[in-house]
Structure 1
Amino acid sequence: MRPSFASWGLLALLLLQGPLLQAQPLSPALQQLLSLSSQRLQLADQVAQSKAQSGKAVQDSPREEQQLQMLAGQAGSHGVGAEQVRLLFAAQIEANKLVQYRLLSRPLPDAGQVVDLERIRSRLNQLNLELLRGYAPALAELRVDDCRPRLNQALQRQVRDDRLDELHAIALSRAAGDLCHWASL
């Protein structure tokens, strides 16, 4: 069963409420992975603006599959399995679309100029490569008994550090929600 927007919202609200009762050890590789994911999600605002201007659909299944295949093909050279890479980037794409759909459901402010989707895609490609490079070290940090509290604390910290609004906090939790499971694959 796929988690609902409300369940992701509940997780995000818990993340926004403050520190966990017992702090977990720092996980620098995980924190870096979440930082990159957050940067990727913040580009969703510009992607939504571009799609509003161009009339393009948010859902672009052929492009998504092309990206997933390309990234999965690079998995071995980064010390992770192809399926782990597909899962990570499918979650990144879904989280990004969550932001886009929500933003497009209401009037967007005028960008003042045409948003260059190719420039945004170039930055997304850079972030994807950085995510791929940091994935194996982050998974290694999550192969512990206290994975879920460690992940929740790292998410909390990222939401706070990036001053994410509720929508982007929900999307970040969606992008990272299954990392503990993926670490066990």
Structure 2
Amino acid sequence: MRPLPIVAAAALALTGCAASEPNPPALGPLLETIERRLDLAQAVALHKWDKHQPVQASPREQQVLSNVRAAAPAHGLAPERAEAFFADQIEANKLVQYTMLFHWHRLGTAPDTPRSDLQQEIRPQLDQLQTLLLKQLADFEQQKPQHCTTMVANAVANRPVDHLTQRALIRATGQLCDKS
């Protein structure tokens, strides 16, 4: 009868090891850059509100994904891996845009804040973040932890962000721990 408490204690100790495994150094910067990309969603949504454009922009999405596939090998990433990661970034950004547009339609107005030009200001920032995200994704791939999904879930849950950004981060990291 004595071995059962010992086995239970050992199992609990092993469970604690997974939870206490430190985050890989690449995870924090990657999440920060994903957040920076998500921050641009409001500016994109404002542009689409003002121009009466839909959130869904399939040709632009395909262009981004094609560019990412082409750039991936230079970062040591498989094109398919980079494309899947960026498809998640696009979907997370659209989640923010749809949510903001929904609220503005309910209110009957968008915020009276300065607007940024989509072509001249926002897209160049997105392109810069794309390059940085590819580098950071490659760094993360080199340090991917054993308990990756738990670690990413805890890191996202502990980010000091609003509810919408947290939901978008969940979407943006949906395939982060998938095998390359």
Amino acid at match of 1:121: R
Aligned to 1:174: 171
- Say whether 1:101 aligns with 2:90: no
Amino acid at match of 2:125: R
- Say whether 1:66 aligns with 2:63: yes
- Say whether 1:36 aligns with 2:33: yes
**Unmatched tracts of structure 2, length 5 or more:** 1-17, 105-109
- Say whether 1:117 aligns with 2:118: yes
Aligned length: 157
User: 1:51 Cα deviation (Å)?
Assistant: 0.9
CA contact (8 A) 2:38 2:165 kept: yes
CA contact (8 A) 2:30 2:136 kept: yes
Root-mean-square deviation (CA, aligned residues, Å) is 1.5
Please give the alpha-carbon distance, in whole angstroms, between the structure 2 residues aligned to 1:138 and 1:61. Answer: 28
User: 1:39 Cα deviation (Å)?
Assistant: 0.5
User: 1:57 Cα deviation (Å)?
Assistant: 1.4
Pick the aligned partner of 1:136 from 116, 135, 138.
138
Please give the alpha-carbon distance, in whole angstroms, between the structure 2 residues aligned to 1:180 and 1:24. Answer: 16
Please give the alpha-carbon distance, in whole angstroms, between the structure 2 residues aligned to 1:86 and 1:26. Answer: 24
SS at match of 1:105: helix
TM-score scaled by length of structure 2: 0.82
User: 1:115 Cα deviation (Å)?
Assistant: 2.8
Aligned to 1:12: none
**Unmatched tracts of structure 1, length 5 or more:** 1-20
Please give the alpha-carbon distance, in whole angstroms, between the structure 1 residues aligned to 2:91 and 2:174. Answer: 12
User: 1:117 Cα deviation (Å)?
Assistant: 1.2
Please give the alpha-carbon distance, in whole angstroms, between the structure 2 residues aligned to 1:114 and 1:29. Answer: 33
Aligned to 2:78: 81
TM-score scaled by length of structure 1: 0.80
Amino acid at match of 2:150: P
Amino acid at match of 2:87: A
Moved over 2 A (4+): 21-24
Please give the alpha-carbon distance, in whole angstroms, between the structure 2 residues aligned to 1:23 and 1:59. Answer: 41
User: 1:149 Cα deviation (Å)?
Assistant: 1.8
Aligned to 2:15: none
Amino acid at match of 1:69: S
Please give the alpha-carbon distance, in whole angstroms, between the structure 2 residues aligned to 1:23 and 1:51. Answer: 44
User: 1:99 Cα deviation (Å)?
Assistant: 0.3
Q: Tell which structure's C-alpha radius of gyration is larger.
A: 2
Identity %: 39
Higher RCO (CA-CA < 8 Å; seq separation 6+): 1
Please give the alpha-carbon distance, in whole angstroms, between the structure 2 residues aligned to 1:75 and 1:134. Answer: 12
Amino acid at match of 2:147: D
Q: Output aligned runs, 1:140-151, within 5 Å.
A: 140-142=142-144, 144-151=145-152
CA contact (8 A) 1:51 1:58 kept: yes
